[in-house]
């Protein structure tokens, strides 16, 4: 007789919601329904407590003191780097640089790597799906170097047209900077295939993982990306902290991005030499409490288990998509086969900002506008969308309330 395989326990969303104090908020007479997670996710008590504990019992500047508090703070900071490296499956912790967020991580690469490697006539490959943070830094770098930017197009469902790569990837392609998940549509990009093909022509690849880390398991060695950027606040951690992963061999060859204390080896008025990675790219006093909070967020998510969270989020997305699509006059924007919990839509004759304002009066928080993706909106023939984005603490009942309130919006506008 074959013993049946053990089944994972059901995901207890009600219990998980107890970990997030802000979810008890009321907006006027209505309970808060927070569906703006792609902009910034809420924080569990484990993160809040870790930051409070740091400031209450462990705060001091790091790497510069021999006293107890400095040593304690330094140990917490260094252990957090190990936690991040394990989360990303980096080869070694020194490949993980603490920055303010994905935006600074991309700017760091565009400035430091770009300054050292881009030349006139070189080409940078982006996609139509990119957030402004993965467009503008490359425009600045390209202008400074005399390089050219090319764009991977998309279809009407919001998926990359990979057949175009044969013409776009050439010997002149020096860098591919690509989103892992679209913040505006939720499209999951097949970055592994893109990385393989970019490497075949000798290009370096940066992956913008700001939207993928809350939803997908990340293994930078398996992906074989050269750089990977993400922000802590979308990963249920603090604001103002993020990570740039980079292969050690590339990071070691890059000049400093910023200069100041703690990134130097020796300073004289004639010459300064710099430390190795990661310290070379972490000038000045870092966001120590943010690093501690980010590590706490990663540990919290590890306890919940990725598979259970992903299954719940996919169920939420499918349920909400069906309910919203059933409303006359609503059009879903971005229907890729592979998506995370982002639901963008428009309503006939109703501006997205009006939709968001009325939803807010009912306690429902969504995002409306171009979502820092104006080139994508132009491709879709839109000025913006309404966007509901889900996290594992959202419920099917909240998805139903979204749809019911959208029906009210439609009736208000006739």
Tokens 């053990």 -> residue: 6
Cβ atoms of 403 and 324 closer than 8 Å: yes
Helix axes 45-53, 288-304, angle to 10 degrees: 150
Q: What is the pLDDT of residue 68?
A: 95
CATH of domain 48-303: 3.40.640.10
Question: Which residues lie closer than 8 Å to 287 by C-beta, 6 or more apart?
Answer: 98, 100, 238, 240, 241
Condensed to tens digits (0 to 9), the pLDDT of residues 228-244 reads 999 999 999 999 999 99
Structure confidence at residue 10 (pLDDT): 65
Asked whether the predicted pLDDT for residue 263 surpasses 90, the reply is no
Half-sphere exposure of 55 (CA within 13 A, CB side): 9
pTM over 0.85: yes
Among the listed residues 283, 358, 365, 372, the single catalytic one is 372
pLDDT at 414 over 80: no
Bridging pattern class, strands 342-347 and 330-333: antiparallel
- Which residues, 6 or more positions from 195, have their beta carbon under 8 angstroms from its beta carbon? 176, 205, 207, 223, 224, 225
Judge whether residue 275 has pLDDT over 90.
no
pLDDT of residue 112: 97
The domain 13-37+305-412 having CATH identifier 3.90.1150.10: the answer here is yes
- Judge contact between 63 and 207, C-beta under 8 A: no
Per-residue pLDDT of 48-93, as tens digits, reads 999 999 999 999 999 878 899 999 999 999 999 999 999 999 999 9
State residue 7's pLDDT score.
43
Check if the beta carbon of residue 36 is closer than 8 Å to that of residue 365: yes
**How far are the Cα atoms of 26, 27, 34, 44 from residue 30, in angstroms, in the given order?**
5, 5, 12, 22
pLDDT > 90 in the chain, percent:
93
Residue 1 reports pLDDT greater than 60: no
Q: Which residue has the higher pLDDT, 276 or 404?
A: 404
Mean pLDDT, the chain, as a whole number? 95
Structure confidence by residue, pLDDT tens digits, 135-175: 999 999 999 999 999 999 999 999 999 999 999 999 999 99
What pLDDT was estimated at residue 346? 98
Range list for CATH 3.90.1150.10 in the chain:
13-37+305-412
Sequence length of the chain is 414
Active site residue 372: yes
User: What's the confidence (pLDDT) of residue 159?
Assistant: 98
**Residues of each domain in the chain carrying CATH 3.40.640.10:** 48-303
Q: What is the mean pLDDT of residues 302-328?
A: 96
């Amino acid at each position: 007789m074959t013993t049946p395989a053990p089944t994972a326990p059901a995901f207890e969303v009600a219990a998980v919601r107890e970990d997030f104090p802000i979810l008890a908020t009321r907006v006027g007479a209505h309970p808060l329904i927070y569906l703006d997670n792609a902009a910034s996710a809420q924080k569990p008590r484990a993160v809040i407590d870790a930051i409070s504990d740091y400031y209450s019992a462990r705060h001091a500047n790091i790497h510069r003191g021999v006293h107890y508090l400095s040593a304690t703070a330094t140990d917490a900071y260094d252990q957090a780097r190990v936690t991040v490296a394990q989360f990303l499956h980096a080869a070694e912790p020194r490949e993980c640089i603490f920055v303010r967020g994905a935006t600074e991580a991309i700017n760091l690469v565009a400035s430091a790597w770009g300054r050292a490697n881009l030349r006139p006539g070189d080409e940078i490959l982006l996609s139509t799906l990119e957030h402004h943070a993965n467009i503008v830094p490359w425009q600045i770098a390209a202008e400074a170097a005399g390089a050219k930017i090319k764009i991977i197009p998309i279809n009407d469902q919001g998926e990359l047209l990979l057949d175009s790569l044969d013409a776009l990837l050439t010997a002149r392609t020096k860098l591919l900077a690509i989103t892992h998940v679209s913040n505006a549509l939720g499209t999951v990009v097949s970055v592994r295939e893109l990385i393989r093909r970019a490497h075949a022509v000798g290009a370096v690849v940066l992956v913008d993982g700001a939207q993928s880390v809350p939803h997908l398991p990340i293994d930078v060695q398996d992906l074989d990306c050269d750089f990977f950027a993400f922000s802590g606040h979308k990963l249920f951690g603090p604001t103002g902290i993020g990570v740039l992963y980079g292969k050690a061999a590339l990071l070691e060859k890059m000049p400093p991005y910023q200069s100041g204390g703690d990134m130097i080896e020796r300073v004289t008025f004639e010459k300064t030499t710099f430390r190795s990675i990661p310290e070379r790219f972490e000038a000045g006093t870092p966001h120590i409490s943010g690093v501690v909070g980010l590590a706490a967020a990663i540990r919290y998510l590890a306890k919940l288990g990725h598979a259970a969270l992903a299954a719940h989020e996919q169920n939420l997305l499918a349920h909400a998509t069906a309910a919203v699509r059933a409303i006359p006059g609503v059009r879903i924007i971005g229907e890729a086969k592979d998506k995370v919990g982002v639901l963008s839509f428009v309503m006939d004759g109703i501006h997205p900002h009006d939709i968001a304002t009325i939803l807010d009066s009912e306690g429902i928080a969504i995002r409306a506008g171009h979502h820092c993706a104006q080139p994508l909106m132009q491709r879709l023939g839109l000025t913006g969308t309404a966007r509901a984005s889900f996290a594992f603490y959202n419920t099917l009942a909240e998805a139903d309330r979204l749809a019911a309130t959208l029906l009210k919006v439609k009736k208000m506008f006739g």
